[in-house]
Structure 1
Amino acid sequence: MRVTVVVLVAGCVVLVGALVQGSVGFGMNLIAAPLLALIEPAFVPVPLIIVASGHALLAIARERHDTDWRGVGWIMLGRVPGTMLGILAVATLAQRPFAAVVGASVLICVLLSVTSWRPVPAAGPLVVAGVASGTFGTAASIGGPPLALLYQHSAGPRIRATMAACFVLGSAVSLAGLGLAGQIHPLQLTLAAWLLPFLVAGFLLSGPARGLLDGGRTRGAVLLVAAGSAAALVVRSAIG
C-alpha cells in the first residue's frame, strides 16, 4: 500500500511539472526535483532525468517545425564548458551561498526584462546562455531560466521546441555520464516507468494550456516561472 501511495503522490508531482513545462517550455525539474527527493530520494536524479527526456522528445515531436536548431547548436557549444564550470563550483564553493547568488542573478535578469533589457537570441548571447545554463543547471539545478529569458520575446512554439531540443541533448549527456559511472540500476528504470503515465497525462493537458498562453501570454508565463524558480532557490539556500 505504501508503495502505491508513494507512486501516486510522485506521479501527481510529475504530472504538474509536465503540465507547466509543456505549456511554458521549462519548469518540470524545478518543480519535481525537490519534491520527489522528499517523497522518495530514489526518484532523483536518474528516473527524473529519464522522464524529463521523454517529455522533451514529446515536445519536439509536437512542435518540431518551430525548433531553432541553429540556436541549439550555439547553446550546446556554451553548455559544455558551462557544465565543467558547474562541476568546479560544486567541488570548490559553498553550495548555499552559490545557489543564492544564482537565484539572485536570475531574479535580476527577470527585473531587467520587465524594464529595459530586450535580449536577442544571436550567436554570442546564445553561447553565454549555454554557459550559464550548464553552470547553473549542474551546480544549482536551475538551467532552464537562462535559455528561456533569452527567447522570451519569441513565439511560444519556438521557445518550447528549442528548449526541448536542448533538454534532450543535455539529458543524453547526463545519462551517458551516469551510465559510465555505474549509477544507473534496474530499480531506477522501474521507477521511471511508473512515472511515465503521469508524464504523458501532464503533457496532454498542456495542449489546451498552450493555446491560452500563445495568445500573448507566453512571455509573462516565462518570466513568472523563471522568477518563481529563482525565488525558491534563494529561499532554500536561506533555510538550508
Structure 2
Amino acid sequence: MQSTVGLGLGLVAAPVISLLDPTLMPGAMLIAAVLLPLFTLFQEWRHVDWKGVAWGLPARIPGTAVGVWVVATLPPGALAGLVGAMVLIAVALSVRSFRVRISPGSLVVAGCLSGFTGTATSVGGPPMALLYQDEPPSRVRATLAAFFLLGATVSLAALGMGGQLDSRTAVVGVAAIPFVGAGFALGNVVRRRIEAARLRVAMLCVVTVSAIGLLTRAVLG
C-alpha cells in the first residue's frame, strides 16, 4: 500500500501487530519500516521536497521525546488502544479531506505530531500526508519516504536510549524486513494496473476494522 499510494505500512501492520503482541510495539514496526523508504528514495529521490523535510524533521525531535515517555509509561494494552485510536484518526482525516497549506508553520506542527505518533504508535505518516495530499503522487511518495526514513531513525535511537527497544523486539522487526521488501515489489506492479484511489479505499476499510478491534480489546481488557 505504501509503495502505491505513499502511506499505509504503519496503518495496515501496526494494528495487526498490536493485536497479536502489543509488547512488540512500536519498535518492531519501526525497524521493519526503515527498509521501505530506502527503496522509494532509490526510485524517486528527484521528487523529494527537501525544503519541507528540512522544516519538518527538526520539529520531530520534541514529539519523539514525548512519544518515548508515553511508551515507557503506558502498559502494552493501553498502548495498543492508542494505536487503534491513532489509526481511526488517520482514517477520519483521509475520508474527510481538507486542505492545509504547506508552510514553515504547518510543517513544524506536522513534524512534531508525526514525531509523537510515529514514536508512540509507529503511525507517523498522517500529519505529513495531510499536508502533501494534493501534490503529485511521485512527490508525495518521495517526500514522505525521506521524512519516514530520517524520522524513524530518530525514533529508534530515542527508544533505544530510553530502554524501550529490547533484543526480542529487534529480532522480530528484522525478521519482518523481507516481507516489507516483497510488499514493495508487489506495489510496483499493482500501481501500474489498479487505480490508487480504489486501493486506498480498500485499505481504509481494512484498517478501520483492525483499529476498532484494538480499541474494543483495550476497553474490555
Shorter-chain TM range is 0.7 to 0.9
Q: Which residue of 1 aligns with 2:140?
A: 159
Residue-by-residue CA offset, 1:189-208 (whole Å, 9 max, x unaligned): 65455433322222111112
Mean CA deviation greater in 197-206 or 160-169: 197-206
Gaps (5+ residues) in structure 1? 1-19
8 Å contact 2:15–2:207 — kept in the other structure?
no
CA apart distance, 1:227? 7.4
For residues 104-183 of structure 1, the aligned pairs below 5 Å read 105-113=89-97, 117-181=98-162, 183=165
Q: Which residue of 2 aligns with 1:66?
A: 47
Alignment gaps of 5+ in structure 2: none
Conserved? CA contact 2:90–2:126, under 8 Å: yes
Percent identical: 34
- The 2-side partners of 1:228 and 1:74 are apart by 33
**Residue 17 (structure 1) aligns with:** none
Corresponding residue for residue 86 of structure 1:
67
- Determine helix, strand or coil for the equivalent of 1:63: helix
Contact kept? 1:156, 1:218, Cα under 8 Å: no
Deviates more, 1:23-32 or 1:60-69: 23-32
Deviation string, structure 1 residues 138-173 (Cα, Å, up to 9, x no partner): 334431112112211111111111111111112211
Question: May I ask how many residue pairs the two structures share in their alignment?
Answer: 214
Amino acid at match of 2:94: V
Partner amino acid, structure 2, of 1:109 = L
Query: Shift of the alpha carbon at 1:184?
Result: 4.7
- Structure 1 residues 53 and 105, CA gap change in structure 2 (3 angstroms): closer
How many Å apart are 1:68 and its aligned residue?
Answer: 1.0
Decide which moves more: 96-105 or 30-39. Answer: 96-105
Summarize the Cα distance change of 1:42–1:62 in structure 2 as closer, same or farther, 3 Å threshold. Answer: farther
For residue 231 of structure 1, report the CA deviation from its aligned partner: 6.5
Equivalence for 1:236: 214
Is contact 1:99-1:234 (8 Å) kept?
A: no
Matched-pair contact (CA < 8 Å) for 1:96–1:238:
no
Aligned to 1:201: 182
How has the CA–CA distance of structure 1 residues 234 and 85 changed in structure 2, closer, same or farther, with 3 Å as cutoff? farther
Q: TM-score, normalised by structure 1?
A: 0.70
SS of structure 2 residue aligned to 1:154 = coil
Are 1:152 and 1:159, in contact at CA under 8 Å, matched by a contact in 2? yes
d(CA) in 1 for partners of 2:213, 2:133:
25
Letter in 2 for 1:119: V
Letter in 1 for 2:51: R
**Higher radius of gyration, 1 or 2:** 1
Cα–Cα, structure 1 residues 97 and 204, in superposed 2: closer, same or farther, change >3 Å? Answer: closer
Instruction: Please report the TM-score for the alignment, with normalisation by the length of structure 2.
Output: 0.75
